[in-house]
Chain A
Amino acid sequence: MMEKMIIGRYVPAESVLHRMDPRSKLIIVFLFVAVVFLANNLWTYLILLGYTLLMAALSRIPARFLIAGLKPVLFLVLFTFFLHLFLTKEGEVILEIGWLSIYEEGIRQGIFISLRFFLLILITSLLTLTTTPIEITDGLEILLGPLKKVNFPVHELALMMSISLRFIPTLMDETDKIMKAQTARGVEYSSGPIKERMKAIVPLLIPLFISSFKRAEELAVAMEARGYKGGEGRTKYRQLQWKNTDTMMILLLLAVTALLIVFRG
Chain B
Amino acid sequence: MKEPLVFLSNVSFQYDSQERPALNGINLEVHEGEWLAIVGHNGSGKSTLARLLNGLHYPKEGTIAISGIQLTEETVWDVRRQIGMVFQNPDNQFVGTTVQDDVAFGLENNGIPADVMAERVVDALNKVNMASFLDQEPHHLSGGQKQRVAIAGVIALRPAIIILDEATSMLDPRGREEVIDTMMKLQDQEKITVISITHDLEEAAKADRIIVMNKGEIYREGTPEEIFQMDEELVELGLDIPFPVKISKQLREKGINLSRHYLTEEELVAELWTSHSKM
Contact = CB atoms under 8 A, between A and B. Distances in A.
Contacts of B154: 226
B125 to A, nearest CB: 13
Contacts of A215: 89, 91-92
A64 interface: no
B272 interface: no
Contacts of A235: 107-108, 111-114, 117
B87, B92, B111, B153 — most chain A CB neighbours (10 Å):
B92
A235 B121 CA distance: 14
A239 B109 contact: no
B56, B93, B112 — most chain A CB neighbours (10 Å):
B93
Interface stretch (A73-81, A95-103, A158-166): A158-166
Given A235-B117, A237-B104, A227 B92 contact: no
B97 interface: yes
Interface string B76-103: 0100110011010101111111101100
B144 interface: no
A224 B98 CA distance: 19
Contact of A166 (B87, B89, B95, B114): B95
Contacts of A233: 111
B77 A227 contact: yes
Contact of B114 (A221, A226, A236): A236
B56 A222 contact: no
A149 B175 CA distance: 47
B97 A218 contact: no
Contacts of A198: none
A60 B87 CA distance: 43
A121 to B, nearest CB: 26
A13 interface: no
A227 B114 contact: no
Contacts of A222: 85, 87, 92-93, 95
B106 A170 contact: no
A225 B54 contact: yes
A228 to B, nearest CB: 5
Contacts of B109: 226-229, 234
Contacts of B77: 227, 229
B224 interface: no
Interface string B108-131: 111111100110010000000000
B207 to A, nearest CB: 22
B97 A162 contact: yes
B49 interface: no
Interface in A186-245: 214-215, 218-219, 221-229, 233-239
Interface residues of B, number: 39
B82 to A, nearest CB: 11
Contacts of A218: 87, 89, 92-93
Contacts of A227: 77, 80-81, 106, 109-110, 157
A102 B80 CA distance: 73
Contacts of B133: none
A166 B80 contact: no
Contacts of B138: 166, 169-170
B97 A166 contact: yes
A66 interface: no
Interface string A22-40: 0000000000000000000
A163 B106 contact: no
A105 to B, nearest CB: 49
A165 B94 CA distance: 12
A254 interface: no
A134 B101 contact: yes
A173 interface: yes
A235 B108 CA distance: 5
B139 interface: yes
A240 to B, nearest CB: 11
Contacts of A219: 92-93, 95
A101 B263 CA distance: 91
B32 interface: no
B114 A239 contact: yes
B56 A237 contact: no
Contacts of A214: 92
B221 interface: no
Given A166-B97, A219-B95, 13 more contacts: A170-B91, A170-B139, A215-B91, A215-B92, A222-B95, A223-B95, A225-B80, A227-B80, A227-B106, A227-B109, A234-B108, A235-B117, A237-B100
Interface of B: 54, 56, 77, 80-81, 84-85, 87, 89, 91-98, 100-101, 104-114, 117-118, 121, 137-139, 153-154, 157
6 shortest A-B CB distances, which residue pairs? A237-B104, A222-B93, A169-B139, A218-B92, A227-B109, A226-B106
9 contacts: A163-B95, A170-B91, A218-B87, A219-B95, A226-B84, A227-B106, A229-B77, A235-B117, A237-B117
